[in-house]
Amino acid sequence: MTSTESLYKMYRSPLFSLAYRMTGSVMDAEDIVQEAFLRYSQLEDRASIRNERAFLYKIVTNRCLDLLRSSAKKRELYVGPWLPEPLIENERAEMDPSDLYVQQETISTAYLLMLQQLNALERAIFLLREIFGYSYDEIADMLGKSSANCRQIYHRVHKSFHHNPEEVPSISIADELVTSFVHSLMQGNTNKLLELLSENVVFYSDGGGKVRAAQVPVAGALAVIKLHQNLLKMYEGQYELIHTTVNGLPGIRLLFEDGGQYIYSFAFANDKIVNVYSVANPDKLRHVTT
């Protein structure tokens, strides 16, 4: 029987990856993983568990499902656009290196938002199969469903899940786009910004009703540019801008003198910025230390 400490070292990172993709919350994911290992350590018949990894994934998955069901009403009443809690560079570095190969594509803000369009059960089945490689029989055992039902749900979701990894640029190209975007904004170079942004770019700002943020998405390159140029004038000299990694891709942090912060991430396609995401809700940034 493997010790709880050894299991924690082996599986904490991938379990966190699952819980974070399921919930879109860093803090909830951390709590769920801690609960799973606490529950496991308190079992009296641990020696009877044949597959400890699958057992832990089962606990985490079902705890995520419970949380998502209980918070559904709260999500419906959320003020303005909802975005996942950002996962920044130092947190990402703690994750298992063996999991890094899927992160750029499947931990990005855009990918997480696509997952949020699925119901909780669909999300669980899709992730367990697509990302973590479980068989339909194993998934069925975890979720208390039939194998045939899990297979049917997975194929339906996979068919409708519009994610093309080939559209995601390399880290170096994405970094160039974000760096140029910031520089061009600072310089007031609208023509360059129009080259960098997709004509149909959309800006999503999550303030949760707690801080100033656009309560509806802002669509179109000129509208997004004008909004940010106005914000720069309004807050001139009141913030520090830091380039960092957000959800596996280049992003930025704006740290304000009053202690507030905005964390930006981006979605890319065909070497242009197609979406801009900004999280400012302080409840979603408690895990982000300055």
290 residues of the chain, pLDDT tens digit each: 678 889 999 999 999 999 999 999 999 999 999 999 999 988 888 777 888 999 999 999 999 999 999 998 888 899 999 999 999 975 544 444 445 444 556 889 999 999 999 999 999 999 999 999 999 999 999 999 999 999 999 999 999 988 777 777 889 999 999 999 999 999 999 999 999 999 999 999 999 999 989 999 999 999 999 999 999 999 999 999 999 999 999 999 999 988 899 999 999 998 999 999 999 999 999 999 76
CB distance 211 to 280 below 8 Å: yes
Q: What is the pLDDT of residue 3?
A: 84
Q: Residue 160's CB: how many other CB atoms inside 10 A?
A: 11
Tokens of 209: 């009703």
Torsions phi, psi of 23, nearest 5?
-100, -25
Distance CA 116, CA 105 (A): 15
Q: Which residue has the tokens 């974000």?
A: 178
Tokens of 21: 């993709």
CB distance 162 to 111 below 8 Å: no
pTM of the model: 0.91
